[in-house]
Amino acid sequence: MDAFGRLLSLCSAAKATDLHLSAGSAPRLRIDGDLRPVDGEPPLRADDLGEMARSLMNGRQLAIFEERRTLDLSRSGPDGSRFRINAYQERGGIAFAIRRLDDTFRPLEEWNLPPQLEEFTRLRDGLVLVTGPTGSGKTTTLASLLHIINRDCACHILTIEDPIEYLHGNLKALVHQRELHTTVPSFAEAVRSALREDPDVILVGEMRDVETMRTAITAAETGHLVFSTLHTGDAVGSVERMIGVFPADEQRSIRQQVSLVLRAVVTQRLVPRRTGRGLVPAVEILKVTNAVGNLIRTGRTEQIYSVMEGSGALGMRTLEQEVASLVARGVIAESEGRKVAHHADALDQWLSKTRSG
């Protein structure tokens, strides 16, 4: 086993979520949210990290890394576990931030995800966004939803990822997975070509730029079910972020398109459990009903939050409602919930309701 593979095995054995490698420091593992050096491991040398990077990258990837000083990859460890790897240049040389992926496809409830998310796997078309900061579990949520479609639907699923993280074998569906910088040059180009490849479901790993957003919206308009992610903190902000990246003279027409194709926005944050062991997702859900679509179309997105608060019967909920519920059920501490809530007054209101009800 090579040195890099041995470190991946250490990460798996410790059930760590992340592994960090940098010159002059011993490998560090993130366990239950805390970053800890690995006992007995010597500091890593810059030359060894450089050799690891070169062994992981093909020629095109190495050229991109040398130009941009950062690159995303994925690999399987010696035990078959999957890892998402970010290699980047820092003052000491090359460093790695490595996320261990649990590639066992589990029911949503085992991930503590709300069961109503399964409704989105039965949509025929439109756009579903899963949003949140880096490390909030977006990839795992999307992989779980795709697995449900793969298991239940005789269709063609096409994924475009950077990098491929979860491997989907063909079940009831036919699945093709494409990877940035290895099989496709860009997200936008891959989505454009996907429209000629007869997909029913398209996963766009991340909507990073205006052209990717434009092609994803077009795909959703033309009868495809599109899943994607954004690095945004709440559902309402996700809508405005998507519209705001377009030139000002296009935004009116984009609002119209988004109001018609957007089906849902799921925003999630990971919060430490009260027990101190493990993390639990706090999930905000926006469904685009006729009323919400009208608010998007007319630029009154600030009113969407109130609609979400009053639409629990439709499966919607705000992050503050979810945090209050997790606190009331003893899953998380109130102090941790306050760190992820966006509206302190709203959280106080919902905490009061859960305690009095």
Q: 303 and 168: one domain?
A: yes
Residue 168 has a pLDDT of 94
Residue ranges of the alpha helices (H) in the chain?
3-13, 46-56, 59-68, 138-152, 187-194, 210-221, 235-244, 251-261, 290-297, 304-309, 319-328, 334-340, 344-356
CB atoms within 10 A of CB 3: 13
Distance of CA 155 to the CA centre of its chain: 23
Residue 336 lies in a domain: no
Q: 153 and 288: one domain?
A: yes
Which residue positions in the chain have pLDDT lower than 70? 1, 103, 357
Cα separation of 206 and 77, whole Å? 24
Q: 142 and 44: one domain?
A: no
Q: Three-state DSSP class for 115?
A: helix
Do residues 280 and 332 touch, judged by C-beta distance below 8 A?
yes
Q: 143 and 288: one domain?
A: yes
Q: 290 and 226: one domain?
A: yes
Residue 105 has a pLDDT of 86
User: What CATH number did the domain enclosing 194 receive?
Assistant: 3.40.50.300
List the structure tokens of 63: 């050229």
Amino acid at 71: L
Q: 263 and 118: one domain?
A: yes
List the structure tokens of 94: 């090359």
Q: 237 and 268: one domain?
A: yes
Domain boundary among 40, 70, 101: 101
Q: Which domain holds residue 15?
A: 3-101
Tens digit of each residue's pLDDT (9 = 90 or more) over 265-295:
999 999 999 998 889 999 999 999 999 999 9
Amino acid at 297: R
Among the listed residues 111, 129, 345, the one whose alpha carbon sits nearest the alpha carbon of residue 228: 129
Among the listed residues 282, 284, 302, the one whose alpha carbon sits nearest the alpha carbon of residue 292: 302
Residue 216 lies in a domain: yes
DSSP bridge pairs for 85: 73, 98
Residue 118 has a pLDDT of 97
Q: 141 and 97: one domain?
A: no
Residue 1 has a pLDDT of 61
Domain boundary among 56, 86, 101: 101
Tens digit of each residue's pLDDT (9 = 90 or more) over 161-214:
988 889 999 999 999 999 988 888 888 899 999 999 999 999 999 998 999 999
Q: 96 and 129: one domain?
A: no
Residue 9 lies in a domain: yes
Residue ranges of the alpha helices (H) in 41-137?
46-56, 59-68
Residue 310 lies in a domain: yes
Residue 103 has a pLDDT of 66
Do residues 258 and 239 touch, judged by C-beta distance below 8 A?
yes
Domain boundary among 101, 124, 144: 101
Residue 331 lies in a domain: no
Amino acid at 22: S
Residue 197 has a pLDDT of 94
User: What CATH number did the domain enclosing 49 receive?
Assistant: 3.30.450.90
Amino acid at 178: R
Do residues 239 and 261 touch, judged by C-beta distance below 8 A?
no
Q: What is the pTM of this model?
A: 0.85
Residue 327 has a pLDDT of 96
Long-range contacts of 177-186 (CB under 8 A, 24+ apart): 179/74, 180/72, 180/205, 181/60, 181/61, 181/64, 181/71, 182/58, 182/60, 182/61, 184/160, 186/211, 186/212
> Looking at the 3D structure of the chain, how many domains does it have?
2
Residue 341 lies in a domain: no
